[in-house]
Amino acid sequence: MSISANITVHYEVTTDSGKSYESPTTKTTAKTLTLTSEEVENRSLKLATAASVDVWDKANSPVTAMQFVYILSDQDVYVELNVADGEAKENVIAFKISANVPLIMTSDDAYDSDYVQMAVPAAPAAGTEDTIDRIAIYNKSGSEANIDVFVGN
């Protein structure tokens, strides 16, 4: 049995000088992802300022190969993606997501630490394909964050 996730994305940007930009798709255009399992993690949590929490860990989750991730916070927070897969060295990237703007990922595919930057438009010169093993969130906004997390297989 499989389940589907429908994603609708549209942006409109207007600059101070009055220039407008809009996504080339309509607001009703949806991308449908077919998840391979009904195993999901869906939760809402509160995270104090200056605190962090693991929101998904492949080793401790029924979702072992994430195909859809949705994270939404009412405060600016940092998301940390870890790629280790049993290796001695853990590879981490952390980045800020803005309040009330969702982070959506549709794969757990990643390159490991031996990745060599690609020369556009060529493929990567070297690197080992790997997967994201853990997702953590750190809140340094100064206020408690209300966070929604959905991870699907």
Instruction: Specify the length of the chain in residues.
Output: 153
* Cα angle: 61, vertex 81, 35; to 5 degrees: 50
CA within 13 Å, CB half, 5 = 20
Domain membership of residue 13 (yes or no) is no
User: For residue range 33-80, what is the model confidence (pLDDT) as tens digits?
Assistant: 888 888 889 999 999 999 999 999 998 998 988 889 999 999 999 999
Q: What CATH number is associated with residue 86?
A: 2.60.120.770
pLDDT of 1 > 50? The answer is no
Tell me the three state secondary structure of residue 60: helix
Strand partners, 135: 56, 81
pLDDT tens sequence across 91-145:
788 999 999 999 999 988 887 655 555 555 555 556 677 889 999 999 999 999 9
Domains contained in the chain, number: 1
Is residue 127 classed as helix, strand or coil in its secondary structure? coil
Domain ranges, residue 112: 38-152
Strand partners, 71: 103, 149
Residue 5 falls within a domain, yes or no?
Answer: no
